[in-house]
Structure 1
Amino acid sequence: MFKEQVLRLMDRAEEQIQGKLKEIDGIIDRNQWKVISAFQKHKVSDFHFAGSTGYGYNDRGREVLDLVYADVFGAEAALVRPHFVSGTHTISTALFGVLRPGDGLLMITGRPYDTLHKVIGKQGDGLGSLQDFGIGYDEVPLLDDGRPDYSEIARRITPQTKVIGIQRSRGYSWRPSFTVEQIGEMVRFVKEVRSDLIVFVDNCYGEFTELREPTEAGADLIAGSLIKNPGGGLAASGGYIAGKSKYVELASYRLTAPGIGGEVGAMLGTTRSIYQGLFLAPHLVGQAVKGSVFAASVFEQLGFVTHPRWQDPRTDLIQAIRFSGPEHLIAFVQGIQQAAAVDSHVVPEPWDMPGYEHPVIMAAGTFISGGSLELSADAPIREPYIAYMQGGLTYSHCKMGVLTALQNMIDRGLLPEI
């Protein structure tokens, strides 16, 4: 399947990263035990998997699912629903839940991920964005080394500021993703400036990559997507919001309606897959993280710049690899698609994807459409030419994807023979 020189590079990479893989296994074990303990505490049984219809009143499976998620994330409460259509929808629901006209949102980790730009919006845009509703917005750029600019954060907090926003993952930027420990430092700092500030964390791509979650480090509210880490490759749709009870309740009123909140919502046969996906998530996230470490090792040996490097601490799934031009970038992403079990025959091309500011190429041969716990890769076609690889339900598939992408680049004459 692969040329001999590609396999030799694989062997060198696996020898290099053995200690890192063992470290990841330890994180998998402890997160798996944490999830099972939450199931046991709330006496999860097969009758909790039954579906509900109509209003979904008294759906005990849905109610216990919220309790299990709250425990897993070290939170007071959680809202877990298939009705969230994406991570962006879930984050939007959380922000609209706690912000009111005249309030302000301050992002302290730089410009957020592209799909949130329309949620933030601008005054009078007529789209129903935050700013269209009279909610102020500001953001503090990160320092050149990727750290928060604490002096500028303190200066930008105004009497109108109500929510401090933190994006845990790098998004489409060449900066480190933030560890839970670093998020805890940010929380402590802003609470010292003003103790009544609500700290919200976009937790997408980060769940189960470490032993703690941001809510266990002081964050008031977090949100994420079920077709990323916590859905375990089985949840067909959905998202979760977790944190302090009063803020989760406010978010629930935005998902449904004031006075109704999380008391309703037919699960329509999705409950079993959401429970089972959560059960599998720690192991599958660990497989994906191993794949990212492997990718970093392989491409570093070839002289490419990666972020994070193979030996660096991991706090999300994303592996960024910087290429010298669009041809290398496109060949890499198309190689990831070629390694898919689903739609391997499809050739992705850059296109003007809704919600993004530049043409984007996406490799996503997945069982769940857009499921980025599964092996995928995407990139905006802009300088610097950086591919963002994430996911992989098995470490073997991750390796196959990396090696296929590498061989694709060699076959196109974009790399010298190894």
Structure 2
Amino acid sequence: MEHEQYERQWEQWAEAAEERIAPRFRLLDRIAERNQWKIIQAFQKHRVSDFHFAPSTGYGYNDSGRETLDLVYADVFGAEAAIVRPHLVSGTHTISAALFGCLRPGDELLFITGKPYDTLHKVIGKPGDGLGSLSDWGVTTKIVPLLENGSVDWDGVAAAVSERTKVFAIQRSRGYDWRPSFTIEQIAEMAARVKELRPDAIVFADNCYGEFTEEKEPTEVGVDLIAGSLIKNPGGGLAASGGYIVGKQHLVDLAAYRLTAPGIGGEVGAMLGTTRSIFQGLFLSPLLVSQAVKGSIFASAIFANLGFDTHPRWDDPRTDLIQAIRFSGAEPLIHFVQAIQKAAAVDAHVVPEPWDMPGYEHPVIMAAGTFIQGGSLELSADAPVREPYIAYMQGGLTYAHVKYAVKLAVKSLWERGFL
């Protein structure tokens, strides 16, 4: 009887939420449509053909598929150049290659959007850490915390700038912070204000989780260089590995020299049969990103209706995939993440537990029942098990999958008396 009671209650909650969020869904459909057209036009401009999908081996000299893929990405992101490679193993690796490419000993890196994502802390490093971090190589880093309202502290930025400041870094997504992610309009303003402070500055943006959630990308509004992961948005759930770096030609070249070696850069690199999936994933990504964002909006509406704090709210502007939900303690947070895993098509039988994950400062619990290991465009959820007990849910190749996962998560909390 209790199961039947929950099913009836769930249908009422879901129907009410979907009626409320329908206008947001129509907006997402238009954004997906515009991004789809942009990608198709880039494919057509560069005459993408079946022979571009042929695998290369060894050095990969004259791999026309790899070269065309770079050109397509540059056009889609409104930039001069791009390097797109399966050899970039994660978003952190990709961002690291971009930063090491731009910075030299004695330079300074300034994060204007607060503390960056946890996995970059080791990349920044400490003097003499022996890890080959930026700090170990004589690059200093300053971090200007955001204001309480989540906006950039421009007075703080101005005070932090020195003659050595070379790269101004923006993290588009919220990371593990209870703050809004930054919209393209806000990023455009940041880039303009940085250039007023330092006309010769390099403006870099970590674009992870943000691709195709809006009609423009940071490189179309004044950002000099961006980086992201192919197992997030632009891989479309098909790219098995990889990352992209897009921006001004000389900066992309410097990042490519860091990825391979000086003088080699992006001229080599066997694609080993990955080119087709990277192309096709890019083609599919606007649709799949919109499905994931719809799922996040639905989750926000459901949990807000049940009395939970959600960020962003269901009717807030969206500029990334991530939905944050705050819980009253560690136990409901853990049950939520475990329920997301239980809803997966892959590894649903696995029960995630908090663990000391490399690159993170606190125990983290992660639900990741995905076809691509760590694929964040697929439905996943993770949370550092620390106050204020916030779970971060992202992705979902289909809206129906996210809806099903939310249903199981709410049921798990219902059964344990957390609702």
TM-score by length of 2: 0.98
Counterpart among 131, 151, 158 of residue 154 in structure 1: 158
Q: Which residue of 1 aligns with 2:206?
A: 202
**3-state secondary structure, aligned to 1:133:** coil
Deviations 1:242-267 (A, max 9, x none): 00000000000000000000000000
Q: Which residue of 1 aligns with 2:177?
A: 173
1: CA distance between counterparts of 2:335 and 2:299? 15
Q: Which residue of 1 aligns with 2:8?
A: 4
2: CA distance between counterparts of 1:152 and 1:315? 25
Whichever residue aligns with residue 143 of structure 1, its letter is: L
2:408 aligned with 1:404: yes
Q: Which residue of 2 aligns with 1:53?
A: 57
Q: Which residue of 2 aligns with 1:385?
A: 389
2: CA distance between counterparts of 1:48 and 1:154? 47
Deviations 1:98-128 (A, max 9, x none): 1000000000000000000000001100000
Q: Which residue of 1 aligns with 2:331?
A: 327
Deviation at 1:51, TM superposition (A): 0.4
Whichever residue aligns with residue 358 of structure 1, its letter is: H
Deviations 1:201-244 (A, max 9, x none): 00000000000000001000000000000000000000000000
Counterpart among 300, 306, 327 of residue 302 in structure 1: 306
Deviation at 1:151, TM superposition (A): 1.0
2:112 aligned with 1:97: no
2: CA distance between counterparts of 1:152 and 1:386? 28
Deviation at 1:328, TM superposition (A): 1.1
Counterpart among 38, 41, 59 of residue 37 in structure 1: 41
Deviations 1:341-371 (A, max 9, x none): 0010111111111100000000000000000
Whichever residue aligns with residue 21 of structure 2, its letter is: I
Q: Which residue of 2 aligns with 1:315?
A: 319
Whichever residue aligns with residue 284 of structure 1, its letter is: L
What is the correspondence of 1:52-91 to structure 2 with a 5 Å cutoff?
52-91=56-95
1: CA distance between counterparts of 2:254 and 2:380? 34
**3-state secondary structure, aligned to 1:3:** helix
**3-state secondary structure, aligned to 1:69:** helix
Deviation at 1:307, TM superposition (A): 0.4
1: CA distance between counterparts of 2:77 and 2:8? 45
Q: Which residue of 2 aligns with 1:17?
A: 21
RMSD: 0.7
Name structure 1 gaps, 5 residues minimum: none
2:224 aligned with 1:233: no
Q: Is the 8 A contact 1:227 1:372 kept in 2?
A: yes
Q: How many residues align?
A: 415
**3-state secondary structure, aligned to 1:126:** coil
Q: Which residue of 2 aligns with 1:248?
A: 252
Whichever residue aligns with residue 178 of structure 1, its letter is: F
TM-score by length of 1: 0.99
Q: Which residue of 1 aligns with 2:133?
A: 129
Deviation at 1:408, TM superposition (A): 1.0
Q: Is the 8 A contact 1:154 1:190 kept in 2?
A: no
Q: Which residue of 1 aligns with 2:277?
A: 273
2: CA distance between counterparts of 1:8 and 1:369? 35
**3-state secondary structure, aligned to 2:18:** helix
Whichever residue aligns with residue 207 of structure 2, its letter is: N
2: CA distance between counterparts of 1:296 and 1:187? 30
Deviation at 1:413, TM superposition (A): 2.3
Q: Which residue of 2 aligns with 1:371?
A: 375
Whichever residue aligns with residue 305 of structure 1, its letter is: D
The percent identity for this pair of structures is 73
Shifted more, 61-70 versus 150-159: the winner is 150-159
2: CA distance between counterparts of 1:339 and 1:236? 22
2: CA distance between counterparts of 1:82 and 1:247? 20
2: CA distance between counterparts of 1:65 and 1:194? 33
1: CA distance between counterparts of 2:395 and 2:363? 22
Whichever residue aligns with residue 43 of structure 1, its letter is: R
Deviation at 1:327, TM superposition (A): 1.1
Whichever residue aligns with residue 87 of structure 1, its letter is: G
Deviations 1:298-319 (A, max 9, x none): 0011011110000000000000
Whichever residue aligns with residue 54 of structure 2, its letter is: A
Name structure 2 gaps, 5 residues minimum: none
Q: Which residue of 2 aligns with 1:184?
A: 188
**3-state secondary structure, aligned to 2:136:** helix
2:262 aligned with 1:262: no
Counterpart among 198, 222, 226 of residue 222 in structure 1: 226
Deviation at 1:144, TM superposition (A): 0.3
Deviations 1:258-292 (A, max 9, x none): 00000000000000000000000000000000000
1: CA distance between counterparts of 2:163 and 2:308? 46
Whichever residue aligns with residue 69 of structure 1, its letter is: Y
Q: Which residue of 2 aligns with 1:142?
A: 146
2: CA distance between counterparts of 1:343 and 1:47? 36
Counterpart among 360, 370, 375 of residue 364 in structure 2: 360
2:339 aligned with 1:342: no
